[in-house]
Structure 1
């Protein structure tokens, strides 16, 4: 039987769609906000940091990050940044010590943080979440591309700055640009889940954590908010959208 080259090409394409030939994962970062953002990236201990830890992303623009298997780290957005030709400057929120390329530096809170561990030495599963433990600056979501078995959406899709309690507000030029976590604002063990409150039995959600949870039920509202906020999945590509459509 003679098989046409056209039919062979179709079989070839189907084979590569069904078989994952990559050794790592892809993270697609999308800026759906009306203004530019400057994503910051921090790799976990011993992990590489893509893009030197920071870059500019115009409104409507996206970038694809290739990360190795078992990569872990966090990604957040910085707002209203201004950098000189040497990559030095400042941002209204999420700033990493005045550097465009964070290179191992974390973002200054408040900032909405996407956290992930894409497999471990004992588990092939990927774990990811959106955390408000460091406060909030922009809405964000993370989900697998094309879906997956048991996969969920981690998100805080609402602008918490609009309903941020006055005690937690961060203002620049009269505008609320961020909402502090209760830990950052109150600086007490009860709100920070430290000291005698450093375990799930003693650290309970506070009034502020319950407010965050009511508005963003798919995000971490305090340190031990695992049951409803941590997602498990196994996919090769994920998309992180800042200012996701609601």
Structure 2
């Protein structure tokens, strides 16, 4: 094959990737099985019915449309009945279903949130969020992308295991082991932690818990108004979402 023809094939593939949606390469780097959950924004199509199993070392490629938005998280310690798809998970459970079918994950769960453009802008927005608590490390890395200003795209991640430094008042335990770390809002329901009542908007400031999460995971969204450092932007044809990226 000539070098010119090879270049044209690669160029056409790249253009096809840009115009034919976005690839999400979901990878399990944990040393145990996880069950990814998917929740699309209302009106959007949900891949694979909203959930699937991913064994240690496995990767699954999902394709979503341009302008797709939603979230992905990992469920841990699940047991499901194969004929019915019914069961339960230690963390991130979505109504006891293998395929979440429009249900979100029960906190605490580390979330990857994304919006791949809007009708008026091609810009992609994405983050790893600890606002609903933490259950395992996650990263989201763009491949072959750029920001509108031409600079490289940011990595959204919480690569450290927050469970090992979770304050005792926020711990979720299973058989004596910490399997999740609640958000302070979930644990207390207090307005200053939930950014409600007198703590809406600019009055919602990082708490001691939010500062702890930010110190351990500086590239994650640590509280409800953390856009300045937590929200990433890019325009890329594909992204790698990795559970336990630093394992």
Cα separation, 2, equivalents of 1:69 and 1:161: 35
Choose the corresponding residue for 1:77, options 69, 74, 78: 74
Partner of residue 133, structure 1: 131
Q: 8 Å contact 1:132–1:220 — kept in the other structure?
A: yes
Cα separation, 1, equivalents of 2:94 and 2:33: 17
Task: Evaluate the alpha carbon distance shift between residue 107 and residue 11 of structure 1 in structure 2; reply closer, same or farther with a 3 A threshold.
Answer: closer
Unpaired stretches in structure 2, ≥5 consecutive residues? none
The reply on whether 1:118 has 2:95 as its aligned counterpart is no
Q: How far off is 1:27 after superposition? A: 0.5
Q: How does 1:61-210 map to 2 (within 5 A)?
A: 61-85=58-82, 86-148=84-146, 149-199=151-201, 201-210=202-211
Q: Deviations over 1:1-52 (max 9, x none)?
A: xxxx634532432432553454211101000000000000000121111010
Q: 8 Å contact 2:22–2:238 — kept in the other structure?
A: yes
Q: Deviations over 1:133-184 (max 9, x none)?
A: 0000000000112353441000000000001000000000000000000000
DSSP 3-state at the match of 2:157:
strand
Superposition TM-score, scaled by structure 2 size: 0.94
Q: How many residues align?
A: 241
Task: Evaluate the alpha carbon distance shift between residue 147 and residue 124 of structure 1 in structure 2; reply closer, same or farther with a 3 A threshold.
Answer: closer
Q: 8 Å contact 2:145–2:234 — kept in the other structure?
A: no
Q: 8 Å contact 1:150–1:232 — kept in the other structure?
A: no
Partner of residue 36, structure 1: 33
Cα separation, 2, equivalents of 1:164 and 1:221: 14
Cα separation, 2, equivalents of 1:6 and 1:228: 46
DSSP 3-state at the match of 1:227:
helix
Cα separation, 1, equivalents of 2:14 and 2:90: 44
DSSP 3-state at the match of 2:38:
strand
CA RMSD of aligned residues (A): 1.4
